Amino acid sequence: MIRVLERRYRRSRKNADKSAWLSEMKSLHALYEEKNRQYWRNDIADSKGDSRRLWRTMSGIMGEKQTSSDSGGFTTDEFASFFVDTVETIHQSTSSTPLHQSEQYTIEELQTMLNIPLLAKLREKVVQGQLQHYLTANNAMPQHQSTVQYPNLMPVPQT
Do 99 and 46 belong together in one domain?
A: no
> Which pLDDT score is estimated for 137?
81
**Average pLDDT value for residue range 59-63:** 78
The reported pTM is 0.37
Is 144 among the domain residues?
A: no
CA distances (Å), 106 to each of 102, 110, 111, 114, in order? 11, 6, 9, 12
Burial degree of 130 (CB within 10 A; 0-12, 13-18, 19+): middle
**Could you tell me the residue range of the domain that residue 6 belongs to?**
2-61
Residue 109 CA to residue 153 CA, distance in Å, equals 34
How many structural domains compose the chain?
Answer: 2
Give the residue with greater pLDDT, 24 vs 116: 24
> Which pLDDT score is estimated for 69?
54
**pLDDT one-digit tens code per residue, 25-48:** 999 899 998 998 898 888 888 888
Residue 21 near residue 6 (C-beta atoms within 8 A)? yes
DSSP codes joined into one string, 86-137: HHHHHHHHHTTSHHHH---S-HHHHHHHHTHHHHHHHHHHHHHHHHHHHHHH
Do 51 and 100 belong together in one domain?
A: no
> Which pLDDT score is estimated for 34?
92
Give the residue with greater pLDDT, 100 vs 76: 76
Do 54 and 8 belong together in one domain?
A: yes
Check residue 143 and report its DSSP letter: S
Is 66 among the domain residues?
A: no
Is 55 among the domain residues?
A: yes
Measured in whole angstroms, the distance separating CA 142 from the mean position of its chain's CA atoms is 10
- 97 has pLDDT over 70: no
Q: How confident is the model at residue 130 (pLDDT cuts 50, 70, 90)?
A: confident
Last residue of a domain, one of 61, 84, 112: 61
Do 31 and 82 belong together in one domain?
A: no
Do 54 and 84 belong together in one domain?
A: no
Do 56 and 81 belong together in one domain?
A: no
> Which pLDDT score is estimated for 16?
94
Is 157 among the domain residues?
A: no
